[in-house]
Structure 1
Amino acid sequence: MGMQSVAVACGALTLCLALTTATNPGFVVRITQAGLDYAQEQAIATLERKLSQLKLPDISGDSRVLRVGKVHYELSRLRLRDFHLPYSRITPIPNVGLQVSISNAFAELDGDWRVKFLFIRDHGSFDLKVENIYIKILLRLGSDTSGKPTISTPDCSAHISKVRVLFSGKLGWLYNLFHSVIESRLRKILEDKVCDKVAMSVYNELQTYIRTLPVTARIDDKIGIDYSLVAPPRATAQSLDADLKGEFYSLAHRSPVPFSPLPLAFPSDHERMVYFGASSYFFNTAGIAYHEAGALVFEITEAMIPKDVEFKLNTSVFSAFIPQLEEMYPNMPMKFRLSTPTAPFLTVGEGGISFQPIVDIQAYAILPSSSLAPLFLLSLTGNVSAVINVRSGRIVGSLDVGRIRLSLKDSAVGTFQVRMMQSLINILTSSTLLPRLNARLDEGFPLPLLDRIQLSNILVRFHQNFLLLGADVRFQPRG
């Protein structure tokens, strides 16, 4: 093989390795332009308050005035009365981040002046109007080693095109003779201070806030969800996308998932402010985590059967299908233990979420001594579909079970026709097991949301390999 062929082969191998080691997200969050615009409104309101608190230094210097000579001036106690940012625009810049452009901003200040020339001293006050302020801020998005988002300001520029100062007092006319010197100095100070305040606000306010995005969410005492970023957030021409791990895990013991997420063909929807893409990987890791944590084990006794269901869970009832049961364990209460030999595997398609779980049903007779005598072991399979919605920032759902099928895996009471007890098992699962499962699903699983974000106008759509959730957002201030 020639050197060129070796190079081509090595390049192909490198490409293959890169493709196989790339980490696809299990969960995607997309913020559309509408969502960015809303976030900008909230951020600009905060920045406006911060800029109104600017502390400006005293200014002093000397200036020569025609027919007067050298004049020493001092400006002190500069107070910023207002700072308004009426027009702003946020734009995603692909492969860079977000750009915030602020135009036609204006501010008003006042302060005290003091002058000395020849043998004359005087003082008074002044008003300052700053108009046509243009600010451009670049926001770079990243992620730290824990998978939390980060934000920085690699570039900020502020330009003030118009400053008007008016001095009052007996010698105010004198100041007005060299106002251009004062205005130039004030312009430079304000331009620098504005970008300093922007950088400080991004670091203290915005950085702190975006880090409220949960890297992990505890579901209960057994299960958590990993929402860490698998790559820095990326800007496209129309949106900001965040790729999250999207993986359920057992709190007691986290083991590697035996499969990887598939790529998500995210649609270009833009009707809502934010979209969440929950992949089949996301849902299937939930099944694995709950299975490994032993949380998919359920026991059914007669006390758990609703009172309106006329059903007795005892050997007398089941002896109609298993005659020898009454002889071996006459009129004894029974218990069913349901468990999954393997984690359920879900499929997500345009028709919704569905799966065909395999459930082992072990039946016991409860002896007078309260010990358990194994009776028979059934295998149950059936078609299960899920209804999904969003409520209070959580994914909620419910299950619907279609026709179930039974088979006999083992028996300590002889052989019998399993299909004869199909209706009884249907009653048990629909009246007891399904309500318990749906009660848990109704509690929901938290979406990866920043602090004090509320969702509304919910949209739910199914796509191949993932569930798409859309919503508008509202920021809820404290207090």
Structure 2
Amino acid sequence: MCVFFLLVSQLMSVWIVNTLKTTELPEFRGELDIGIGTIDFALSNMWIVQCSMSEPLLVFVKGTGVSVTVTQLLLAVTGSWATHFGIIILFQPFESEFSGHISDVLRQKICQATEQAIVDLERHLQESSGTDKSYFGSSVNLFKLTHPHVVANTYGTQKGEFYSSSSPSEPLFSPSAFDMQPAENYTLSLAASDFFVNSAAYAYFSSGLLQINIKDDVIPKSSPIHLNTSQFGIFIPQLCTLYPDMEMQVLLYARETPLFSFSSAEVDVHVTAAAKFSAVKHDRTLIPLFRVDVDSSFNGNSQIDNIHLTAAFNINNLTLTLGSSKIGDFNKGPLEKLLKMAMSTVVLPKLNAYLKIGVPLPTLHGFSFSNAEMFLRNGFVLIVTDVEAPRDMPSGL
């Protein structure tokens, strides 16, 4: 099931339960005709001390969103109950007469509080951000409910998916079903399938964000090789002859969507990329030299550290082929070794340093997570956590 669908469903439960538990029911006075006269009664100092509810049923409504139904709500209420008949104080003889009437009164008041809690939740959802600003300087939609999908459990079946805000389109790959068992000792269980993660990769790819220009000034000074034609002449001799002592630049970009796959042991990533090498003139215009195509795979692991999703990856395989060339053919073996070295000593350390800091877990406006853990499963990742609802929500009455 998509992250957003479970998130809304289970955070809605937390929100409603916490709202009811912090709601003081107003004092209520009334009367009951017992045939020989009227008994006055008063209910005061009432609080909900226990509250549990069934998981809200979220039904997908194409084009508009979801419909929410709560079918079961169990409560325990404490408070003061006073009755009198004229000047006589009464209670036990008429307890059976009062119980049904009092239950009706409480049910009406509690339903009002529950309805208000749902209205407040809707307001917080509307205030939540719908986009993720990435370090690439653009954005993609965090998630969107689309047509029915994938997960078989009691909550329903929906597909969660990332979209590019600039060029929304469906990926060529399809989701697979998986079975998620929520953790009983945590408030919230979230699952993100490999389809969900890969749809994010597709959104970035289709937006043209998976590319970077590499210039010599980003290469460590201690590196034995720098981006200039003289030094690259060691690997490609004709560079020195055709374009002597010129600065070089590399455009590195994904040729296809990077694909993630999850297993109980690790995360695997397959990346097909290309690198366009150019020489740089004094006026900063570029002279195309050659393009190499790169097929690579990585494996690693991920965990949650202080409510941040962290990861670390190792290179598993990297092969290089010559895609096109303006300078003729050349031996690709030395360049492949250089690329592997650059990946191991420059690219991956920088990536892992970023992933070590991690990114905050996705949440909704006002909610916070605690005691979060993550587990790898075949086809998906499972995140379990406790949830604290916003402290500024109205009491509902």
TM-score band w.r.t. shorter chain: 0.7 to 0.9
Could you tell me which runs of 5 or more consecutive residues in structure 2 were left unpaired when the two chains were aligned: none
**Which residue in 2 is equivalent to 1:56?**
28
- In the alignment, the residues of structure 2 paired with residue 159 and residue 374 of structure 1 have an alpha-carbon distance, to the nearest angstrom, of 77
- Quick check: 1:147–1:230 contact (8 Å CA) kept in 2? no
**Deviation at 1:242?**
5.6
Distance 1:140 1:164, change over 3 A: farther
Residue in structure 2 matched with residue 225 of structure 1 by the alignment? 142
For residues 203 and 350 of structure 1, the distance between their equivalents in structure 2, rounded to whole angstroms, comes to: 41
Query: Residues 422 and 201 (structure 1 numbering): CA distance in 2 closer, same or farther, change over 3 Å?
Result: same
Q: C-alpha separation between the residues in 2 aligned to 1:177 and 1:475?
A: 43
What is the DSSP-based 3-state SS (H/G/I as helix, E as strand, rest coil) of the residue aligned with 2:117? helix
> How far apart are 1:367 and its partner, in Å?
1.3
| Aligned residue in 2 for 1:16 | none
Map of 1:105-254 to 2, 5 A cutoff?
141-142=58-59, 146-148=64-66, 150-152=68-70, 165=83, 175-176=87-88, 190-209=102-121, 212=124, 217-220=130-133, 221-228=138-145, 241=155, 243-254=157-168
Calculate the TM-score normalised by the size of structure 1: 0.66
* CA distance in structure 2 between the partners assigned to 1:222 and 1:155 by the alignment: 40
Q: Which has the higher contact order (CA 8 A, sep 6+)?
A: 2
Q: Deviations over 1:44-74 (max 9, x none)?
A: 5632553x34253565989868xxxxxxx89
Ranges in structure 1 where 5+ consecutive residues have no aligned partner: 1-24, 66-72, 93-97, 99-138, 168-173
Out of 156, 173, 188, the residue aligned to residue 259 of structure 1 is 173
The structure with the largest alpha-carbon Rg is: 1
- Tell me: CA distance 1:300–1:429, structure 2 relative to 1, closer, same or farther (3 Å): farther
Aligned partners of 2:48 and 2:75 also within 8 Å: no
Aligned to 1:404: 318
**Quick one: which of 244, 267, 287 aligns to 1:330?**
244
Identity, % of aligned positions = 20
Kept in 1, the 8 Å contact 2:144–2:162? The answer is no
Q: Which of 304, 313, 325 is the matching residue for 1:390?
A: 304
Offset of 1:287 from its aligned partner? 2.1
Task: Please report how far the alpha carbon of residue 422 of structure 1 lies from its aligned counterpart in structure 2 after TM superposition.
Answer: 2.8
Q: Distance in 2 between matches of 1:297 and 1:451?
A: 34
Say yes or no: does 1:352 pair with 2:266: yes
Show CA shifts across 1:71-105 (max 9, x none).
xx8969x5x54114445554x4xxxxx5xxxxxxx
Q: 1:48 to 1:289 in 2, by over 3 A?
A: closer
Counterpart of 2:28, as a letter, is L
Structure 2 CA distance for aligned equivalents of residues 408 and 388 of structure 1: 34
Verify: 1:370 aligned to 2:333, yes or no. Answer: no
Alignment CA distance shift 1:288-1:457 (3 Å): closer
Paired residues, number: 382
Say if 1:200 and 1:62 are closer, same or farther in 2 by CA, change over 3 A: closer
- Superposition deviation, residue 191 in structure 1: 2.7
Per the TM alignment, residue 43 of structure 1 is displaced from its structure 2 partner at its CA by 4.7
Contact 1:275 1:470 in 2 (8 A): yes
Alpha-carbon distance in 2 for matches of 1:432, 1:178:
83
Q: In structure 2, what is the equivalent of residue 292 of structure 1?
A: 206
Question: AA paired with 1:374?
Answer: P
Q: Distance in 2 between matches of 1:85 and 1:413?
A: 79
Point out the structure with the larger strand share: 1
Does the 8 Å CA contact 1:226/1:246 hold for their aligned counterparts? yes
8 Å contact from structure 2 (residues 263, 377) kept in 1: yes
Q: Distance in 2 between matches of 1:280 and 1:242?
A: 19
2:292 and 2:321 in contact (8 A); partners too: yes
Does residue 46 of structure 1 match 2:19?
Answer: yes
